[in-house]
Amino acid sequence: MDALERLIEGLQRAENVEGLQASTEQLRDHFAVRHVIYHWVNSRGERFGAGTYSSQWVDRYLERDYLRLDPVIFGCFQRFTPVNWKELDWSSKAARAFFKDATEHGVGNQGYTIPLRGPKGQFALFTANDSCDDEQWEAFISSNARDLMILAHEFNKKALEFETGADGAPAPSLSPRELSAMTYLAKGFSRAQAANELQISEHTLRVYIEAARHKLGALNTTHAVARALASGLIVV
């Protein structure tokens, strides 16, 4: 079995968003890039993501509502073919400030994003991100574009399975770790404090939070906490 087959096999075993998260970490290490990210908007407009960006950058992106100006989102929404970030429009002052903020929070200066779509209007982006010069990045794309495309569609197929499986499902059931993570956040703990209480890393905590957010159909962490409280899943 070659490396691509092993990566696909691991992805196909994913049963939830934690499995997708583990796959992004595996792909990051395999391709020796800074980040791999999968971002999904389902047929109900609910968003979730799996990836290796830091929790600090994810939180900042949401808090500053960067979705409204992100050139990658806008550039890829109108396309069906992969996009090298260098091809996108970064000319506005807001876009340049966003890019500077992103790189200061650990995002690489190079990106390659594959837009994906589902049969009911679902939209997703699969991205490889790294820090290097243009020539090196072009060589990376040339060598890996085919495998990245195959893996992107495998991610999308898995996300479609998750959505299909959720149709008509009862109220979400959170794992004990997910419940604990959401409870600490609801009590006003920072992520660092919650991770310390659970004796796990902040990165692992983020996996639990993202899993809970996906199950709850929440747009962000605050929304997830509110839904968990409203549904009686957690009590503070």
Closest residue by Cα to residue 30 from 14, 10, 49, 54: 10
Q: Where are the domains of the chain?
A: 3-166, 176-230
- What is the model's pLDDT at position 236? 66
Give the DSSP per-residue string, 135-195.
HHHHHHHHHHHHHHHHHHHHHHHHHHHHHHHHTT--S----HHHHHHHHHHHTT--HHHHH
Kindly report the length of the chain: 236
- What is the model's pLDDT at position 59? 85
Domain spanning 176-230, CATH class:
mainly alpha
- What is the model's pLDDT at position 164? 60
- What is the model's pLDDT at position 165? 55
- What is the model's pLDDT at position 228? 83
How many CB atoms lie under 10 A from the CB of residue 24? 22
- What is the model's pLDDT at position 44? 67
Structure tokens at 139: 């060589």
If one looks up domain 3-166 in CATH, what number appears?
A: 3.30.450.80
- What is the model's pLDDT at position 112? 98
Contact 115, 76 (CB under 8 A): yes
For every one of its 236 residues, what pLDDT tens digit does the chain have, with 9 covering 90 and above?
Answer: 588 899 999 888 988 778 888 999 999 999 999 999 998 876 666 677 789 999 889 888 888 889 889 999 988 887 888 999 999 999 999 999 999 999 999 999 999 999 988 777 788 999 999 999 999 999 999 999 999 999 998 998 888 887 765 444 445 688 899 999 999 998 889 999 999 999 999 888 988 998 888 888 777 788 788 778 877 788 76
